[in-house]
Amino acid sequence: MGNRRFDNTQGPSQRQLRVGELIRRELADVLARGDVHDAELSRVPITVSEVRTSPDLKIATAYVMPLGGQGQKEALTALRRNKAELRHLISRGLTLKYAPDLRFQLDETFDRMDETRRLFQDERVQRDLASGQEDDTAER
């Protein structure tokens, strides 16, 4: 097996997806149990919506959001400050050769979903959708 370069057009492998989900569950459990003794992390529950791993599984980027979306910067700072301890805690629950380096990003999909809902409720969009449905039935 030669030296294979990662092709960004392929997307993540099954192994990356599987390991990412295992890390997501373990990280969510560690945060829910309050295993890290940091007042800022225990102040508000944090949702871990997704974890993406690098092709070599050495970097894991966790997409997180504090419950209710409040205190995002503080939560991100606290997670980053405690990443070594979090890495150690999640590695105990995983059977990986190496514990991945954890990185944290805010999950912005919630904001995009809210914006999409708002757009669909706009009366001009509703009018366009209704006229599109009329065109579809006229063609049949």
- Chain segment 57-115, per-residue pLDDT in tens: 999 999 999 988 888 999 999 999 999 999 999 998 888 888 999 999 999 875 555 56
When the pLDDT of each residue in the chain is averaged and rounded to a whole number, the result is 83
Spatial strand order of the sheet with 59-66 comes to: 46-53, 59-66, 101-106
Query: 63 and 87 share a domain?
Result: yes
What pLDDT band is residue 5 in, cutting at 50, 70 and 90?
Answer: very low
**115 and 77 inside one domain:** no
The two beta strands, 59-66 and 46-53, are antiparallel
Whether 49 and 83 map to the same domain: the answer is yes
How many domains does the chain divide into?
A: 2
Instruction: Name the pTM for this structure.
Output: 0.71
Host domain of residue 118: 108-140
**Same domain, residue pair 130 and 96:** no
Task: Give the whole-number percent of the chain exceeding pLDDT 90.
Answer: 52
